[in-house]
Amino acid sequence: MYTLRVEADFAAAHYLSHYHGKCEKLHGHNYLVRLLLQGKTLGEGGMLADFGLVRAALKDALVVLDHSNLNDFEVFANDPSAERIARYIYDELYARFPSRGLDPALLFAVDVFETPGSMARYTPDA
């Protein structure tokens, strides 16, 4: 099995409506996103996927989130947790990959770090 990892980041504000503690107040993070692709076979050029194409797709998926208030996005239902952000990014990439010539079946996981020590991962059901 081959694994490819690409990272990008974005900055955004949010608050968690159904959390009781300091995170229920508006605050911000410099999020780090790690995208993992996996596959058993290599394509043309001996690559699982082109790093440049994957990185561009990831950056495109993040541009709408960057410097925003994540609570303004209906998809997060006023609780934009790292878990929900990871799922959102995965879904965006799954939809965007074909138009970039990338196979969405290679998508393995999306990791969203709120801090260097706090990360949530989304992987689709197998």
- Backbone conformation region of residue 115, classed left if phi is above 0, alpha if psi is from -120 to 50, else beta: beta
CATH number of the CATH domain containing 79? 3.30.479.10
- Choice among 7, 27, 67, 83 that is catalytic: 67
**For 83-101, how does the pLDDT look when each residue is reduced to its tens digit (9 = 90+)?**
999 999 999 999 999 999 9
Task: Give the number of residues written for the chain.
Answer: 126
In the chain, which ranges are E strands? 2-14, 27-39, 68-69, 107-115, 118-122
Average pLDDT, rounded, for the chain: 94
* Entry pTM: 0.93
Enclosing domain of residue 12: 2-122
23 is catalytic: yes
Closest CA to 57 of 11, 107, 124: 107
The structural domain count of the chain equals 1
Q: Is the pLDDT of residue 126 over 80?
A: no
20 is catalytic: no
18 is catalytic: no
Residue 111, pLDDT score: 98
**What three-state secondary structure class fits 21?**
coil
Q: Is the pLDDT of residue 102 over 70?
A: yes
